[in-house]
Amino acid sequence: MKQAFLEFWDHLIHFRKDKLFVEVTENSFTQFFRFIFVGGTATAVDIGSGWLFFRFVFLHNWTLGGFTLTRDVLAAAVGFLLGLVVNYVLSVLWVFVRKDINRVKEFLSFAVIGLVGLLIKSGVMMLLGLVIPQQSGGLFLLKSFIGTMVAFVWNFTARKVFIYNRVPERSQV
């Protein structure tokens, strides 16, 4: 773990673009660094599309079986799912590159972890809604951002541990 961090740190301070951005890596610190960019892109899709759904599609709360789903949580759910697809595509192309994996099983696992992330994000937004009950666009963005940050940590950690936990082979020199 220490060596992996030192290797990442060396790449970062010397700005070795190939090591940080191009080459396939099993270094968890480099993967986390890349996941920040992937997560940022997915978050932009998530929050941006969620805001559009909040402003133009979900104009009222929905009630299902006596349980009210607020329009901000509904919009956030749609945005999160769109962000999940972007996150998956970018992650398998750039962060957790594996050729030896069943893509259907991988996507389903990725989606289940993402759905848990959605529940975490929605729960955070609902808790924040108790403190910040107004449903203006600006407060929606704040609640969505905070919920997304909590879900971000869950998503990376769970995916690394449960899907992409392969121990890299050491080369014999």
Has residue 167 been placed in a domain?
no
Q: Which two tokens stand for residue 118?
A: 């959605």
pTM comes to 0.73
The pLDDT value recorded for residue 136 is 62
Question: Average pLDDT for consecutive 10-residue bins of the chain (173 residues)?
Answer: 89 91 90 93 90 90 84 86 91 88 90 91 88 70 85 91 70 41
Q: Which domain holds residue 40?
A: 2-162
Rounded to the nearest 5 degrees, what angle is found at the Cα of 29, between the Cα atoms of 7 and 155?
170
The pLDDT value recorded for residue 152 is 86
Has residue 172 been placed in a domain?
no
Q: Distance between CA 98 and CA 31 in Å, rounded?
A: 13
Has residue 137 been placed in a domain?
yes
The pLDDT value recorded for residue 84 is 85
The pLDDT value recorded for residue 171 is 42
Q: How many domains does the chain have?
A: 1
Has residue 168 been placed in a domain?
no
Is residue 84 classed exposed, middle or buried when 0-12, 13-18 and 19+ CB atoms within 10 A define those classes? Answer: buried
Has residue 92 been placed in a domain?
yes
Has residue 131 been placed in a domain?
yes
